[in-house]
Amino acid sequence: MSDIIWTKTDEAPLFASYSLFPIVKSFLSRAGISITRADISLAGRILSLFSKELGLNKADELELLGELTAHKEANIIKLPNISATLVQLKAAIEELRSKGINVPFYPDEIITDYDEEVAKKYAKVLGSAVNPVLRQGNSDRRVLPPVKEFAKKHPHSNGDWDKANKTKICYMQKGDFYENERSIIASKDEKFYINFISLDGKKELLKELNVQSGEIVDATFLSVDELDKFYESCFDEAQKENLTLSLHLKCTMMKVSDPVIFAHAIKSYFKEVFELFGDEFKTHGVEAKNGLKDMFSKISTLKNKDEILAKFDEILSKKAKIWALNESASNFDVPNDVIIDASVPALIRNSGKVKDKDGELNFSLCMIPDRTYARVYEACVADFKEHGALDVSNIGSVANVGLMAKKAEEYGSHDKTFIAKEDGEFVVFDEAGESVFKFSVKKGDIFRMTQAKDDAINAWFELALKRGEISKDELIFWLDSSRAHDRNLIAKFDKFRDKFTNAGVKFEILNYEQATKRSLEAIR
pLDDT digits (tens, 9 = 90+) for 242-283: 999 999 999 888 888 999 999 999 999 999 999 999 999 999
Whether pLDDT at 13 is above 80: no
- Say if residues 167 and 157 touch (Cβ distance below 8 Å): no
Given a cut of 90, whether residue 9 has pLDDT beyond it is: no
Q: Contact at 8 Å (CB) between 235 and 269?
A: yes
Work out the mean pLDDT of the chain and round it to a whole number. 92
Report, as an integer, the average pLDDT of 480-498. Answer: 96
Question: 168 with 365: CB under 8 angstroms?
Answer: yes
Rounded CA separation 419/256 (Å): 8
Q: How confident is the model at residue 1 (pLDDT cuts 50, 70, 90)?
A: low
User: Amino acid identity, residue 304?
Assistant: N
Which residues, in sequence order, are CB contacts of 9 under 8 Å at separation 6+?
A: 17, 40, 41, 78, 79, 80, 81, 82
The predicted pLDDT at position 413 comes to: 86
| Residues 6+ positions from 280 with CB-CB distance below 8 Å | 286, 302, 304
Number of CB atoms found within 10 A of residue 116's CB: 12
Using 50, 70 and 90 to split pLDDT, how confident is the model at 173? Answer: very high
Model confidence at 73, pLDDT cuts 50, 70, 90, reads: confident
pLDDT at 167: 97
Q: What is the mean pLDDT of residues 436-450?
A: 97
Phi, psi of 356 (to 5 degrees): -100, -175
Residue 291 has pLDDT above 80, yes or no: yes
Tell me the C-alpha distance between 419 and 402, whole Å. 29
Cβ partners under 8 Å of residue 233, min gap 6: none
Please, are residues 456 and 204 in contact by the beta-carbon 8 Å criterion? Answer: no
Average pLDDT for 385-406: 92
58 has a pLDDT exceeding 90:
no
Q: In the prediction, which pLDDT does 255 show?
A: 82
> Which residues, in sequence order, are bridge partners of residue 5?
36, 76
- 357 and 330 in contact (C-beta within 8 Å)? yes
d(CA 523, CA 394): 9
Q: pLDDT tier at 146 (50, 70, 90 boundaries)?
A: very high
For residue 79, name the pLDDT band (cuts at 50, 70, 90): confident
Determine the average pLDDT of the residues in 287-300: 93
Q: What is the 3-state secondary structure (H, E, C) of 20-41?
A: HHHHHHHHHHCCCCCEEEEECC
Instruction: Give Cβ neighbours of residue 266 (< 8 Å, ≥ 6 apart).
Output: 288, 291, 292, 295, 332
Contact 30, 62 (CB under 8 A): no
pLDDT at residue 125, rounded to an integer: 87
* Whole-Å CA distances, 7 to 126, 411, 441: 18, 21, 42
Sign of CA dihedral 350, 352, 355, 360: negative
What percent of the chain lies above the pLDDT cut of 90? 71
pLDDT at res. 129:
77
Handedness of CA 417, 422, 427, 433 (dihedral sign): negative
Residue whose C-alpha is closest to residue 88's, from 152, 43, 146: 43
**Residue 126 pLDDT level (bands cut at 50, 70, 90):** confident
| pLDDT at residue number 69 | 86
The SS3 call for residue 175 is: coil
The whole-number average pLDDT for the span 437-444 is 98
Read off the pLDDT of each residue in 384-407 and give the average, rounded to a whole number: 92
The confidence score (pLDDT) of residue 466 equals 95
pTM over 0.75: yes
> What residues pair up with 196 in beta bridges, in sequence order?
204, 426
pLDDT average, residue stretch 5-18: 77
Distance CA 448, CA 181 (A): 9
Identify the top-confidence range among 64-68, 332-336, 352-356.
Answer: 352-356
How many angstroms separate the CA atoms of 99 and 109, rounded? 25
On the question of pLDDT at 21 being above 90, the answer is no
Nearest to 333 by CA among 374, 288, 365: 288
Q: What pLDDT, on the 0 to 100 scale, is given for residue 115?
A: 87
C-alpha dihedral sign at 430, 436, 438, 444: negative
Of the pLDDT bands very low, low, confident and very high (cuts 50, 70, 90), residue 395 is very high
Beta-bridge partners for 221? 447
pLDDT band at 136; cut points 50, 70, 90: confident
**Nearest of 458, 483, 481, 471 to residue 507 by alpha carbon:** 471
- Does residue 12 surpass a pLDDT of 70? no
Amino acid at 491: A
Give percent of the chain above pLDDT 70. Answer: 99
DSSP state of 210: E
